[in-house]
Amino acid sequence: MATKIVLVGAGSAQFGYGTLGDIFQSTALYGSEIVLHDINPASLAVTEKTARDFLAAEDLPFLVSATTDRREALKGAEFVIISIEVGDRFALWDLDWQIPQQFGIQQVYGENGGPGGLFHSLRIIPPILDICADVADLCPDAWVFNYSNPMSRICTTVHRRFPQLNFVGMCHEIASLERYLPEMLGTSFDNLQLRAAGLNHFSVLLEARYKDSGADAYADVRARAPDYFATLPGYSDILDYARTHGQLVETEGSTERAWLGGRDSAKPWADRTLFKEVLAKFNYLPITTDSHFGEYIRWASEVSDHRGILDFYTFYRNYLGHVQPKIELKMKERVVAIIEGILSDSGYEEAAVNIPNRGYIRQLPEFIAVEVPAIIDRKGVHGISVDIPPGIAGLLTNQIGVHDLTAEAILNQSRDLVVQALLVDSVNDKCKAIPELVDLMIARQRPWLDYLK
C-alpha cells in the first residue's frame, strides 16, 4: 500500500518545492501518494503543476494531487508536514519586533523568544491547532512534522491540547555544526560524534568526539573557536543560511551588497558576539547565532551584534522576494530521513527533534517541548536524555513560565494571561505599559488576535 504524505502549506514555493525535492530523491518512498494542501488555490495550482511537470520530466514513480479541502487531504494520511504563516509575514514580524522596542523592551529579534515570539505564537498556534484537530479526527495515528516557528511554543501548546498526537517539531539550525566544525577541527563531519540540546533556537553543543580515535573533541572546539570565528567573513553567515535551504546566491556583483544595506566587508564574530560571550562565560558553544539565541536572554541586547542581525534580516526578507525556488533531487531537510527511518525500522540517531520533555532534560518539566537527539524506528521518535550543565540549564529554566502561560493564554483565549506571559518573561523589564502594549498589538494584528478576550 502506498504511503500517503500530506504537505500543509504547499502553496509556499519555498516549502512546497523544497519538501517535494526531499521526497522525490528518496527511493524508499517511490510509489508514495503526495497530497498538496493550501488555502490559496492559485499558489497551490502552481505548486501542483510544477510537481507534475517535474515527475514527468524525471520519470519518477510518485502520485501527486492537490486540494484546498484540508479534511479531504488528511483522510488516510500517514505523515503530515506543516509549514504555514498567517497574513503578511514580514509586516507582522516587523510589528512583533518594533512595537515592544518602542515600549522600551530591548529584544534583539522578534520571531521566537521574548515579546515578539509571544505575539508570533498567538497568531500562528490557533490555525495549527485547527489542523491538529482534523488530524486527531481523521488520521490520529499519523506522524505530524512541523516547520513553523516559534517552534518550542507551538509544540508545547499542541501537546497540551492533543497529548496523544504524534507531533514533532523540525528545525534546520543543527546543520550549522556541519557547516563550520569540520573546517574548525580539520576533520570530516562523518568523523565527529556530536550531541546538542536545549530549546529550539536556544540549544548548545553538549558533546563532541572524534570517531576514529574516540578522543574528546570539545577541548579542540573551545581552543579553536575564538580564532576561527574571529576570522569568519560577515557574509558567510548570511550566505550559509541560503545554502542550508539548498539555494546558492551569487557572491559576485552588487545584488547582495544592496540587500545588505551596503555592507560588503568582513566582520569578526559576525552575528556571534553574544555567541562569543556564551562560549567564554558558560564554556559551551551555541548552535545558532545572536539573532536567535539572543531572543531568550535579557542581557543579549548589551552584547549582540545588532548590525549583523539587521543585515541578516534585510537579506532574508529581500532574498525570499527575489529567489526563484525549484525542485531539486537532494535532501535539504531531515524530515524525509525520519519518515524513511520509521518505515524501515532503522533505529538511527537523529540529531535534533522538538518533542515533549520526558526526562530528557531533567531540569525542565514534562510539558515543555525540548530540542534533543532521538532514535528513530518503526514505533516513531524516541528522545535521548542529555546532561545539561547548570549554567545552560539556568538559562533554559527561565522559559518555563513563559511557555506555560503562552499555551494557557491561547487555549483559554485570555488577554490577561498574555499580560502575565510578558510580565514573567526575563527579556522584559517593564510593567505599567504592558497592558497597553498588549491591547495595541491585538488592535494592530486583527483579525488574528481578536480571539483574545
How confident is the model at residue 359, as a pLDDT?
97
On the question of a cis peptide bond just before residue 150, with omega within 30 degrees of 0, the verdict is yes
Where residue 55 falls among pLDDT bands split at 50, 70, 90?
very high
Where residue 323 falls among pLDDT bands split at 50, 70, 90?
confident
User: How far apart (Å, rounded) are the C-alpha atoms in residues 436 and 445?
Assistant: 14
In sequence order, what are the beta bridge partners of 199?
Answer: 202
pLDDT tens-digit profile of 189-199?
A: 999 999 999 99
Going by the DSSP 8-state scheme, the letter that residue 307 receives in this structure is H
Q: Which three cell numbers stand for residue 252?
A: 559576485
Residue 2 contacts by C-beta under 8 Å, 6 or more apart in sequence?
A: 31, 32, 33, 63
pLDDT tens-digit profile of 99-118?
A: 999 999 999 999 999 999 99
- Structural domains in the chain plus CATH codes: 4-172+328-352 (3.90.1820.10), 209-322 (no CATH)
User: How far apart (Å, rounded) are the C-alpha atoms in residues 175 and 129?
Assistant: 28
How confident is the model at residue 278, as a pLDDT?
97
Q: What is the mean pLDDT of the chain?
A: 92
How confident is the model at residue 240, as a pLDDT?
53
Where residue 16 falls among pLDDT bands split at 50, 70, 90?
very high
Where residue 263 falls among pLDDT bands split at 50, 70, 90?
very low
Q: Is the pLDDT of residue 266 over 60?
A: no
Inter-CA distances, 302 with 274, 297, 431, Å = 9, 10, 21
Lowest pLDDT segment from 80-84, 258-262, 413-417: 258-262
Q: Which three cell numbers stand for residue 384?
A: 535521548
pLDDT tens-digit profile of 339-351?
A: 999 999 999 999 9
Q: Which three cell numbers stand for residue 266?
A: 568582513
pLDDT (mean) for 13-38: 97
90 vs 249, which has greater pLDDT? 90
How confident is the model at residue 260, as a pLDDT?
46
How confident is the model at residue 87, as a pLDDT?
95
pLDDT tens-digit profile of 399-433?
A: 999 999 999 999 999 999 999 999 999 999 999 99
What is the distance of C-alpha 326 from the center of its chain?
Answer: 21
Where residue 244 falls among pLDDT bands split at 50, 70, 90?
low
Q: Is the pLDDT of residue 447 over 70?
A: yes
Q: Is the pLDDT of residue 282 over 90?
A: yes
Residues acting as catalytic residues:
172
What 3-state DSSP class applies to 166? strand
pLDDT (mean) for 150-157: 98
At position 194, the amino acid (one-letter code) is L
pLDDT tens-digit profile of 298-318?
A: 999 999 989 888 888 887 887
pLDDT tens-digit profile of 382-403?
A: 999 999 999 999 999 999 999 9
How confident is the model at residue 319, as a pLDDT?
74
What 3-state DSSP class applies to 264? coil
pLDDT (mean) for 220-247: 69
Lowest pLDDT segment from 188-202, 246-260, 274-288, 365-379: 246-260
Reported residue count of the chain is: 453
User: How far apart (Å, rounded) are the C-alpha atoms in residues 367 and 404?
Assistant: 8
At position 242, the amino acid (one-letter code) is A
- H or E stretch including 183? helix 176-185
How confident is the model at residue 270, as a pLDDT?
77
Q: Is the pLDDT of residue 235 over 50?
A: no
Q: What percent of the chain has pLDDT over 70?
A: 92
Nearest to 161 by CA among 140, 130, 138, 139: 130
